[in-house]
Every structure is written in C-alpha cells, then in structure tokens.
Structure 1
Amino acid sequence: MTAQARTGAASGLNVADVSVAYRRDEVVVRDATFGVPRGDVVALLGPSGCGKSTLLRAIAGLEPLTSGVVSWAGEDLVGVPPHRREFGLVFQDGQLFTHRSVGENIAYGLRVKRWPRADRDARVAELLELVGLGGFTNRPVTELSGGQRQRVALARALAPSPRLLLLDEPLSALDRELRDRLAVDLADLLRKTATTAILVTHDESEAETIADRVLRMSDGRVAG
C-alpha cells in the first residue's frame, strides 16, 4: 500500500491510528489507519465480530474514539456530531419510515435541509430512476420486497449528496441470487453518482464486485 493510500488523501477521508474500546479491557478496533480519496469505494472485509461495523460507526461519529483521528479533507471530525459530518448511512435492514411513502422516505433529508418542494420532487424522481424504481414515488414502503426496500434506503441516503456514504452489510439480509444482482447494481450506482463510500461486508465476492479497494479486518486490525 502506498503512503498516500495508507494515510488518505487531503480531499477525502483519513482514518489515522483509530482505536475504539467499549471498556478499558475490551478494545474492539486497534490502531486503524487508511484513507479513502474522493470518488473511491473501499470495502472493510472480515468475519463477524472483527470490529468492522464498530469502525464504521466510529467514522460516522456514533462511537467515541479511544485514540486516533478521523478527518475529512484535512478537517478533524473528532467532536463533530454525526448529523454535521454530512455522511450518509445505510444499514442491513434499511430502517425506512414505514408510515411514509417511498417518495417521502427519500425526500426526508431534503426536507430537513429545507429544499424547495419542486427541487425535492425532481431529486426523488431522479434517484428512483437510478435505483430502478421509477414510478414508485407514492408506493407504501410496507408493500415493497426486501430488495426494493434496500434500493429505497440507498436512494434516501444519496438524496442529500453526502460527502461519504457508509454501508453496513446493506445486502446481507437478502437471498444469494438477489444479493449478487444488487451488488452489481450498487457498484454501478456508486460510480454513476461519483459517490465516495465505505462498504462493510463479510462476503468476499460482494466486496470485490462493489469496491475499488478491499481492506481486510481481523481482531480489530485493518490490513491492506
């Protein structure tokens, strides 16, 4: 791994010597160091319990760091709350608002940012086409299949054009055939939208399909 790839690029994410511990005697992530330049997709690959989801949550600001630095474009993010980091998050179950329609789910972040109604509607329509759900704007999310729900979750996370998209096992709850198909679609979507992203997965083929670079995790440590 080159020095630039190891320490990050000034224009993207830099994770430097990051450790996370739930208790003093329970270190979950140990001295993680890597970078994600703008436009790159990096996978954190490893078995359950290796610390990859904890590291992702630490980057998002959802877990405090024991030591180390997380920065974006040279700006130290330690102490910056999650909602101000401008990062998007997609989890395994999508975490959609079941009382809202597909369009209302996708537009949620845009409403928070006070986008005008016409701009919100145009952005929702654009993203539904990108994720292969054109015409689903008014569909109740309770009527969607598992794969469709994850597509909506991706569209919702992408709607505000996040600086970084964090994907925590987004396809792991799906059956193998659908998972393989959506992995290809997700890779295409991330590149069409020039999205900088980190994917957490335990599936090697998924990591290779979606990511530009795969970092392996074992016992809380990151290796190239």
Structure 2
Amino acid sequence: MTFATPALKTAALLLAAIPVAAATAQPVPAARPARPAAPKPAAPRPAAPKPAAKPAPKPVAVPAPVVPAGPPAWTVSSDEARGVVQIVADAKGATAHFSGGCSKFSSTPGMVGALSNYHGDGLRTDGEIEHVAFYARGADWQDAFSVRLRYSAGTHSWQFDRPLPPVFLNSFSRGATLAVVNSRNQEIFAFDLTGSTPAVRAMRTVCGIPTPAQ
C-alpha cells in the first residue's frame, strides 16, 4: 500500500504541471555589447616652420670728417720785376725763424738765407763760421747738405756764408721736414716743409735757378 502525505501530493502535482523543457532550460546571459575601440591618438601636427632669419643690416660706413688743412709752413712772395723771391717759415715750436730766397742777378745761383729768433746754445755766437747740416727728410729717406753759418751780432742772426746749390731745392721741395744739426751733431730745431714745393717753383721761375737731373 502507498502512503503519501498531503504535502507530498501537492509537491507532486506541482512538478507534474511544469513542462520538462521549462524545468531543464537555463537562462542564457545576454551577450555584453563590444566595447568600442579606443580612438587612436591624433597624429601630432607638424611644427610650424620658423621664420627665416633676416640678415643683419650691414653697418653704414661713416666718412671721416674732413679736417681742413692748415696754412702752409712756408710762405712765398715773388717780385718778378726785380727778379727776387722771398720765403719765410717758423721752426716747429717757434724755436727759430728762417728767412731767405733768391735773386735773379746773383752771381751764384742757389738759395740764400738766415736763421734768427733762436735763443738756445746750439749755435756759435762768436762770429766764426760753423759747419752745420741740413737734413731734408721724407717717409723713408733723407738727404744731407753741409751749410756754413756765420753769426751776425748786428742782426742777431746766423747767415748762410754761401748759397745752397740748386740740387738742394730738389730735396727741399719733396721732403716732409728739414732738420738743422749743429757741428756737435745735435739736432737743434726742425721745419715742417709743407708749402716748400710752390716756394721752389717760384725760385726756379723768377730767379732762373736750374733744375738739376735727379
């Protein structure tokens, strides 16, 4: 004989009422949606080209100021009617004065002259002839000429004992300085020779001093 409680009967009825497919089917989990692919990083933008460097402006050369030339050291005055030329100049530092020139009627052609306003002790003052040297100097050359001087107490000057020869004028006209060296080999003063070229030109023209060959 089969024995069943009311509870078991009820459970049996319930199980019988459930379809087999339903009892055995298991829910399938829904598929997860696919994650969208991460966006690729944007390619870096190319760097903007640097502006081309402008060349530095070239400096503008400023012309040197024009310095007006001073008056020539030697001044000349001519008297063609009398056939004489006088030239004068002061030594550098105003340590002496030169006065000379030429005459068309001189028996010996050349330049005569005298030195004055000198207050040093580099020249003799006893009236005896002193042999000094005149050095005409250029940038890289010098020419020496022997000069005989005699002191005159009446005029307080040292006068040429004889004219300087025509060849002296060549060096005198193209030199830069004229130095006077005494018999003890001491340079006692010097002259700037700017203006000597027109002075020589006047002496050759008015006095007829010849131009010797170089």
TM-score range, shorter chain: under 0.3
Query: Which protein has the larger Cα radius of gyration, Structure 1 or Structure 2?
Result: 2
Q: Which has the higher contact order (CA 8 A, sep 6+)?
A: 1
Length-normalised TM-score, structure 2: 0.24
Please, what TM-score do these two structures have when normalized by structure 1? 0.23
